[in-house]
Amino acid sequence: MRIITWNINSVRLRLDLIAELVRQVNPDVLCLQEIKVTNELFPAAALAEMGFVHQAVSGMKSYNGVATLSRLRIDNISIRSWCERDDCRHIQTDIEGIRIHNFYVPAGGDIPDPDLNVKFAHKLKFLDEVAEWFGGQEDHPALLLGDLNIAPLETDVWSHKQLLDVVSHTPIEVEKMAAWQKSLNWVDAVRKFIPPDLKLYSWWSYRSSDWQASDRGRRLDHIWATPSLDPRLTGAMVVREARSWAPPSDHVPVMIDLV
């Protein structure tokens, strides 16, 4: 089974990019974030024509939203709210006996101080809540994936020193992400195949006039697996070239294969 996560930054605007991804790598399951559309206007028919006849969607107008699309049957769809907000940041599904958690973690704004920035305070609270909730779950076969909006490793950012006080790479965010990862002893499925000493990014800012030349990226998109799935993982890839597809998302697809 081939599974991809992608912050698409408007699913209707980038349907052609999804079609190109399907042509190139042919995923069985595609988990999207930031779909920016209500369920009623979600392009279900167009995506079904691409082969994703099974769909689970939690959308909202203009912001956020997640969708899990599959060639295989989807069971047990569950939508959870966090921090007492119905802002469409998590959808849970079961596919082929694997529970898939599709997440869009709050970005957190620009100021890394919860007393000065309510968006950053929300992000930290969100991370605490999800870590606590998963800590109470049983270790069943599961994947947790999506735009987690944190680049935890020094090699997950273009400059560790320069980004230590930039939201997405601050020590407090990395610490809370580690607690979340520890909640079920999640395995970083991508870093299992692309060693942690290698630079690896999945996001490049729109502000750069030439993203490839500057290459100031961050790895914000992740796929984790429970230990029971670790032996079934066979490969991983970041589809870097998708950043040049037009009109581009600022994120690129991240993919794993498992048997």
pLDDT at 132: 97
Distance CA 29, CA 106 (A): 23
pLDDT digits (tens, 9 = 90+) for 49-94: 999 999 999 999 999 999 999 999 999 999 999 999 999 999 999 9
Q: Tell me whether residue 110 is exposed, middle or buried, using C-beta atoms within 10 angstroms of its C-beta: 0 to 12, 13 to 18, 19 or more.
A: exposed
What's the whole-number mean pLDDT along residues 218-231?
98
pLDDT value of position 17: 98
Residues contacting 47, CB < 8 A, separation 6+: 15, 18, 55, 69
Q: Which two tokens stand for residue 165?
A: 């006080």
Report the distance separating Cα 7 and Cα 50, nearest Å. 18
Do 202 and 243 contact (CB within 8 A), yes or no? no
User: What pLDDT, in 10s, does the model give residues 128-158?
Assistant: 999 999 999 887 999 999 999 999 999 999 9
Tens digits of residue pLDDT in 167-214: 999 999 999 999 999 999 999 999 999 999 999 999 999 998 899 999
Residue with tokens 């992740």: 222
What was the pLDDT predicted at 138?
A: 81
Q: What's the chain's average pLDDT? A: 97
Output the furthest CA–CA distance in the chain (Å, rounded): 48
The pLDDT value recorded for residue 139 is 78
Tell me the three state secondary structure of residue 224: strand
Strand blocks (E) in the chain: 2-7, 29-33, 54-58, 66-70, 74-79, 90-95, 98-104, 142-147, 187-188, 203-204, 217-218, 221-225, 233-238, 254-258
Question: How far apart are alpha carbons 217 and 201 in whole angstroms?
Answer: 5
Q: What is the predicted pLDDT for the residue at 209?
A: 87
At how many degrees (to 10) do helices 171-183 and 118-135 cross?
Answer: 20
Ramachandran region of residue 212, left (φ > 0), alpha (ψ -120 to 50) or beta? alpha
What domains can be seen in the chain, in order of their start residue?
Answer: 2-258 (3.60.10.10)
Span 85-132, pLDDT tens digits: 999 999 999 999 999 999 999 999 999 999 999 999 999 999 999 999
